[in-house]
Amino acid sequence: MIVHPSHPSGSALRQRMIEDMTVRGFTAKTQHDYIRYVKTFAAFLGRSPDRATAEDLRRFQVHQTQAGLQPPGINSAVAALRFFFTVTLDRPDLARRLALVRQPRKLPLVLSLGEVTRLLEAAPGPKYRAALGTAYGAGLRVSEIVSLMRVSEIVSLKVADIDSTRMLIRVEQGKGRKDRHAMLSPHLLELLRAWWREGSRRGLMLPQGWLFPGRNPVTPLSTRQVNRAVHAAAQAAGIQKRVTPHTLRHSFATHLLEQDIDIRVIQVLLGHAKLDTTALYARVATSTIRTVMSPLDRIWLATQDETRPDG
């Protein structure tokens, strides 16, 4: 955590922070990220971070801004340092000096129905067609479909998670470390069965194994592999938009909203904790927007009614 090995408290501080995070149920990935941010702060100081002052924190945030670090990165560092100073060091007075940066809320990129169709048709093989179909057909995050970057943090689907009787997909330990169910449509079930038959023929589908195994069936497909498949499919389909796996989740929610599905139902399907998060899709549901009559048009219609001979 510290820069100079001359400070013997460095390893002790690191271990104490890890213990504090473990007690609070932080995932291994979150612990890794928090430690990394504190190490970055220590490198900036050139001394142990437990010797930091309020002015040091101010200078560090100025440095981050001048270095061009974007709001998400700055805010992630704030979260890590606030935990370090508040919990590990019991110095909440310093934690209060850290300022969060307001992030501009951008509209999510959404594909049309035709673009989704072309993208799935251009997917490189039945495995990726089924994986991308799951992202769109069930609205799952890529981390809920395949593995995260660290094997110890795997949150991904297994064959046993597909419940064709109840037409549900079980998602274990999704975002927020919560279990939930996602919808399983008949067509998505067909895509998954087509992949299962092909995967079984190739000896990739192990008993109680991954639904989307990697090259070695013992390990799951990685997020990087899915990202590459999406980019390749988008290019092959002639889609100029900047498509990611999460674009399919955005499209799932938006298309449901355009079908007049209640937004609270969509919230449950997406696994959102807050309705405000789901409500963002109302801003990109173009067919919903087009069906609303402008008050200007209502005035015009009223004027026309008044000028009719029989009015």
Torsions phi, psi for 210 (to 5 deg): -70, 145
The CATH number assigned to the domain holding 158 equals 1.10.443.10
What pLDDT shows up at residue 8?
38
- Tokens 């023929």 sit on residue: 201
**pLDDT at residue 310 tops 80:** no
Q: In this structure, are 74 and 128 located in the same domain?
A: no
Q: In this structure, are 203 and 73 located in the same domain?
A: no
Catalytic residues: 141, 175, 246, 249, 272, 281
Say how many domains are in the chain: 2
Q: In this structure, are 35 and 120 located in the same domain?
A: no
What pLDDT shows up at residue 1?
43
Write out pLDDT tens, residues 51-66: 999 999 999 999 999 9
What pLDDT shows up at residue 135?
93
Write out pLDDT tens, residues 89-145: 999 999 999 999 987 777 788 999 999 999 999 999 999 999 999 999 999 988 888
Assess if residue 2 is contained within a domain: no
The span from the CA of 248 to the CA of 244, in Å, is: 7
For residue 7, name the pLDDT band (cuts at 50, 70, 90).
Answer: very low
What pLDDT shows up at residue 298?
72
Q: Decide if 261 contacts 242 (C-beta within 8 A).
A: no
Q: In this structure, are 36 and 117 located in the same domain?
A: no
What pLDDT shows up at residue 111?
94
Q: In this structure, are 188 and 46 located in the same domain?
A: no
Residue 94: Cβ within 10 Å count: 18
**pLDDT at residue 270 tops 60:** yes
5-19, 105-119, 151-165: range with highest mean pLDDT: 105-119
DSSP string, 244-290: -HHHHHHHHHHHHHHTT--HHHHHHHHT-S-HHHHHGGGGT-HHHHH
What pLDDT shows up at residue 296?
67
Is the four-CA dihedral 31, 37, 272, 21 of positive or negative sign? positive
Q: Which residue has the higher pLDDT, 256 or 103?
A: 256
Q: In this structure, are 76 and 145 located in the same domain?
A: no
What pLDDT shows up at residue 291?
64
Domain extent for 28: 9-95
**pLDDT at residue 40 tops 60:** yes
What pLDDT shows up at residue 102?
86
Please, what is the Cα angle at 138 between 134 and 140, to 5 degrees? 75
For residue 199, name the pLDDT band (cuts at 50, 70, 90).
Answer: very high
Q: In this structure, are 71 and 201 located in the same domain?
A: no
Q: In this structure, are 226 and 260 located in the same domain?
A: yes
Contacts of range 262-271, beta carbons closer than 8 Å, 24 or more positions apart = 269/138, 269/139, 269/182, 269/183, 270/139, 271/171, 271/174, 271/175, 271/176, 271/178, 271/180, 271/182
> What integer is the mean pLDDT of 173-200?
86
Q: In this structure, are 220 and 153 located in the same domain?
A: yes
What pLDDT shows up at residue 152?
33
For residue 151, name the pLDDT band (cuts at 50, 70, 90).
Answer: very low
**pLDDT at residue 245 tops 80:** yes
Residue 190: Cβ within 10 Å count: 12
For residue 174, name the pLDDT band (cuts at 50, 70, 90).
Answer: low
**pLDDT at residue 274 tops 90:** no
- Confidence (pTM): 0.68
Task: Say which range, 53-57, 72-76, 250-254, 301-305, has the weakest mean pLDDT.
Answer: 301-305
For residue 188, is it left (φ>0), alpha (ψ between -120 and 50) or beta?
alpha
Assess if residue 29 is contained within a domain: yes
Tell me the average pLDDT of the chain. 86
Assess if residue 90 is contained within a domain: yes
The 3 state secondary structure assigned to 190-222 is: HHHHHHHHHHHHCCCCCCCCECCECCCCCCECE
For residue 156, name the pLDDT band (cuts at 50, 70, 90).
Answer: confident
For residue 289, name the pLDDT band (cuts at 50, 70, 90).
Answer: low
